[in-house]
Amino acid sequence: MMTIALPVLAALFAWWFATGAILYLDGLPRSTYRHSMMSASLLALPALLGLALTSHSATPAGAYLAFVCALVVWAWQEMAFLMGFLTGPRKHSCTPDCRGWRHFLHGVHALLHHELALIAGGVLVFALAWDGVNQVGAWTYLTLWVMRQSAKLNLFLGVRNLGESLLPEHLSYLKGYFRRRAMNPLLPFSVIGSGGLAVLLAWMALTPGVEPFQVTARLLLATLLGLAALEHLFLVLPVPLDALWQWGTKARPRGEATGLAAPRHAAVVVVKVEP
């Protein structure tokens, strides 16, 4: 029973804690950001080494360690974005009459450096685990990246819960790219796709005769996909996801931190486009 429950609980806790920790550090005074990024970098370097070492370990322990290492690398990317170190060359909102593809390209321009950093990080993670028997770290990073892109497209098309209250003041110009609407055509495919893949991985993990390493690896990824599906769903439900990370927003000035709704797979808010 613990073989099944432990990967699920571990992924849930890592997702919840990493998101809250990032929000907490982001809520501290900007004078602390450089120290936070230096500390995160000191953690990211051994995490990258861990990804290389665990790629040769097809054991449950190796799967857990690779999963955590990938989350640390992803958390570094999230902190760099939210703290303003890696955003994009565009530092202001569009004019009210900006529409369509022009507005979309402006949004991409506002996040360009962050997007390139995510891609570069993914290439590095896959290179470190290349030809290894344990690909959990690479697949974890890829899952986070794909679901982040899905979230951005859904936010571009419009959702009910924008999560804009989690944007720090120095990124407030990104609010100009947000759009609020009850639903968009892509969201059902995002929820069904990620949720369906989570169910498939869980089924593959629970098939009789599967090795413990595969059980752990598949359940970790299945839980992450399930959480991504849930977060996508919360984008349009009239129920905020904020309360889960109230402790992470306490470092913010009073009145600034009110909640989180955008996927944040250890992630947070992304650009959306107005009509």
* Tokens of residue 89, six digits: 């060359």
Q: pLDDT at position 264, please?
A: 45
Helix 212-234 to helix 60-82 angle (10° resolution) is 30
In a domain, 20, yes or no: yes
Instruction: Flag whether pLDDT at 265 surpasses 50.
Output: no
3-state secondary structure of 221: helix
Place of tokens 């322990």: 61
Query: Residues 229, 201: contact at Cβ < 8 Å?
Result: no
In a domain, 68, yes or no: yes
Give pLDDT tens digits for 220-255: 999 999 999 998 998 888 776 666 666 676 666 655
3-state secondary structure of 129: coil
| Local confidence band at 101 (pLDDT 50, 70, 90 cut-offs) | confident
Q: How many independent structural domains does the chain possess?
A: 1
Q: pLDDT at position 189, please?
A: 95
Parent domain of 161: 2-249
Place of tokens 């309360």: 243
Stretch 162-172: mean pLDDT:
77
In a domain, 272, yes or no: no
Helical H segments across 32-135, by residue range: 33-54, 60-82, 100-128
Instruction: Provide CB contacts within 8 A for 194, sequence distance 6+.
Output: 147, 150, 225, 226, 228, 229, 232
In a domain, 195, yes or no: yes
In a domain, 197, yes or no: yes
User: What are all long-range contacts of 124-128, with beta carbons under 8 Å and residues at least 24 apart?
Assistant: 124/48, 125/48, 125/51, 125/70, 125/73, 128/48, 128/51, 128/52, 128/55
Query: Residues 79, 36: contact at Cβ < 8 Å?
Result: yes
User: What are all long-range contacts of 5-11, with beta carbons under 8 Å and residues at least 24 apart?
Assistant: 6/216, 7/63, 7/64, 7/215, 7/216, 7/219, 7/220, 7/223, 8/219, 8/223, 10/64, 10/67, 10/220, 11/67, 11/219, 11/220, 11/223, 11/224, 11/227
Give pLDDT tens digits for 44-100: 999 999 999 999 999 999 999 999 999 999 999 999 999 999 999 988 887 777 778
Q: Which of residues 267 and 1 earns the better pLDDT score?
A: 1
Q: pLDDT at position 45, please?
A: 96
Shortest CA distance to 274 belongs to which of 175, 130, 167, 146?
Answer: 175
Give pLDDT tens digits for 114-157: 999 999 999 999 999 999 999 999 999 999 999 999 988 888 78
* Distance separating alpha carbons of residues 153 and 177, to the nearest angstrom: 12
Instruction: Flag whether pLDDT at 160 surpasses 90.
Output: no
- In this structure, of 72-81, 170-179, 256-265, the range with the lowest mean pLDDT score is 256-265
Q: pLDDT at position 253, please?
A: 65
Instruction: Flag whether pLDDT at 203 surpasses 80.
Output: yes
Q: Which of residues 88 and 264 earns the better pLDDT score?
A: 88
In a domain, 241, yes or no: yes
In a domain, 202, yes or no: yes
In a domain, 270, yes or no: no
